[in-house]
């Protein structure tokens, strides 16, 4: 007689895997109207990594963020965060979110310190009465983003860059190990952008994982270790140096990108054959220079004999 034993479902992990970061496997999201916003998306971002999420508007970036935050359900596939399911990770306050400016009602009367304190709600009881540890976390977060002097200001009175710093402080106060940033450079000046990049690099060096949705092509090679190119599915994923190429960008952006090439006498006063390629979607451009089309974010230095080899 053959006995068939029904295999029990394996319990979901209850402890974090600090090295696993974000894992997305075959993620598919279909909305009630039948629109499939995300199809069979797969990629992995280990901890201690900054990854860029790049694609045109409507490519599924916001849907992917919503799936990671548990706001939409997957029709297929799975997402894990530090080795945990999405609900388990959210319950432990492991995921912090920095929204786009358009998602916030700036007319709502709330102080800067109160916005940052919202990051502590998941650490409080039902009455949401802050303890000393919560106040200390808010103070440290404001200091780290350089906004301590603005703590008693109304959030709506701040500049675009200052508002962005406040929401970064909220994520820091939450102590999220995974931070999702939605267009963090939109509406900020170059000085603030540089400050945000330095902060993200510091967080990466602390072992956190960050996924940054951005149209700012020129900044991606400066600070993003990996890149996910999205067009309702993952077109390419890997180290930025090998993934963030002209060919892959054209696949992701289609006819939206503009491409310029300068060379010859327009660029050099000698017979140097190298060219300067500029790719832009009307925000900060991506500049590539040299025979191999390497990315640069500052004036390129002449190649040495060693470079040529």
Domain boundaries, the chain: 106-173, 252-308
Whole-angstrom CA distances from 136 to 143, 174, 305 are: 11, 12, 54
Cβ partners under 8 Å of residue 245, min gap 6: 293
Distance CA(79)–CA(168), nearest Å, equals 24
Of 64-73, 82-91, 275-284, 296-305, the one with minimum mean pLDDT is 296-305
Chain-wide mean pLDDT for the chain?
A: 83
Q: Which residue has the higher pLDDT, 209 or 106?
A: 209
pLDDT at position 45 is: 97
State the average pLDDT over residues 202-216.
94
pLDDT at position 30 is: 96
Closest CA to 40 of 66, 57, 60, 20: 60
Neighbour-count burial of 61, counting CB atoms closer than 10 A to its CB (0-12 exposed, 13-18 middle, 19+ buried): buried
Distance CA(166)–CA(99), nearest Å, equals 11
Closest CA to 104 of 187, 40, 178, 46: 187
Of 21-35, 151-165, 189-203, 242-256, the one with minimum mean pLDDT is 242-256
Distance CA(77)–CA(68), nearest Å, equals 12
Contact 291, 278 (CB under 8 A): no
pLDDT at position 295 is: 47
> What angle is formed at CA 47 by the lines to CA 43 and CA 50, rounded to 5 degrees?
70
Distance CA(221)–CA(226), nearest Å, equals 9
């Amino acid at each position: 007689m053959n006995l068939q034993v029904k295999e029990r479902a394996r319990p979901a992990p209850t402890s974090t895997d600090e090295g696993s970061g974000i894992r997305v496997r075959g993620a598919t999201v279909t909305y009630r109207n039948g629109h499939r916003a995300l199809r069979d998306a797969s990629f992995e971002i280990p901890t201690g990594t900054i990854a860029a999420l790049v694609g045109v508007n409507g490519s599924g970036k916001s849907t992917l963020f919503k799936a990671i935050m548990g706001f939409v359900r997957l029709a297929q596939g799975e997402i894990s965060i530090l080795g945990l399911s999405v609900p388990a990770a959210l319950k432990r306050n492991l995921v912090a979110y920095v929204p786009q400016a358009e998602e916030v009602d700036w007319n709502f009367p709330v102080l800067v310190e109160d916005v940052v304190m919202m990051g502590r709600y998941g650490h409080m009881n039902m009455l949401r009465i802050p303890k000393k540890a919560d106040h200390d976390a808010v103070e440290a977060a404001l200091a780290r983003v350089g906004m301590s002097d603005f703590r008693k200001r109304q959030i709506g009175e701040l500049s675009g860059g200052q508002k962005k710093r406040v929401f970064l402080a909220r994520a820091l106060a939450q102590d999220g190990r995974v931070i999702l940033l939605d267009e963090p450079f939109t509406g900020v000046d170059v000085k603030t952008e540089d400050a945000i990049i330095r902060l993200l690099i510091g967080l990466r060096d602390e072992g956190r994982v960050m996924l940054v949705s951005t149209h700012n092509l020129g900044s991606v090679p400066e600070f993003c270790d990996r890149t996910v190119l999205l067009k309702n599915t993952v077109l390419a994923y890997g180290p930025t140096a090998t993934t963030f190429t002209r060919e892959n960008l054209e696949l992701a952006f289609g006819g939206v990108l503009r491409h310029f090439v300068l060379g010859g006498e327009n660029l050099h006063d000698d017979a140097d054959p190298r060219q300067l390629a500029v790719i832009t979607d009307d925000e900060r451009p991506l500049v590539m220079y040299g025979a191999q089309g390497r990315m640069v974010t500052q004036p390129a230095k002449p190649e040495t004999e060693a470079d040529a080899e």
